[in-house]
Amino acid sequence: MNPLQDVFISYGRADSTHFAKMLNDRLVELGYTVWFDGDDIPFGVDYQKQIDDGIEKADNFIFVIAPHSTNSKYCGLEIDLALKHNKRIFPLLHVETGVLTKWKKTKDSSV
């Protein structure tokens, strides 16, 4: 891992893994250095220490807001650590398009 990172991505694996990976790839494409657990945690190491180090070394913290992440103990700990280290926090709402389609249909139907 690079000694410093521009961005740390925090997300819930149950519902945002694909979205977080696409976000990571796009940020890297734009030239940012990104800490992303799928790329930055080697096998056989202390997983939590790697995450803590990633947060400490990142200038910015992106929190992907989705049902799983908002209820995740681990995401909560990541946010606490980001706050403790005065990281710039960017909340990013992740909503599946299927959910939006259902909402639109409900909204448009006569009640």
Domain that holds residue 43: 5-108
Neighbours of 29 (CB within 10 A): 8
Per-residue pLDDT reduced to its tens digit, 24-81: 999 999 999 999 887 767 778 888 888 899 999 999 999 999 987 888 899 999 999 9
User: CA distances (Å), 65 to each of 41, 53, 91, in order?
Assistant: 22, 22, 7
Please report, for the domain that includes residue 95, its CATH number.
Answer: 3.40.50.10140
Number of folded domains in the chain? 1
Q: Is the model more confident about 74 or about 106? A: 74
Q: Which of 25-34, 77-86, 101-110 has the lowest mean pLDDT?
A: 101-110
Average pLDDT of the chain is 85
Global pTM reads: 0.79
Q: Which pLDDT does position 103 carry in this prediction? A: 58
Phi, psi torsion values for 8, nearest 5 degrees: -110, 130
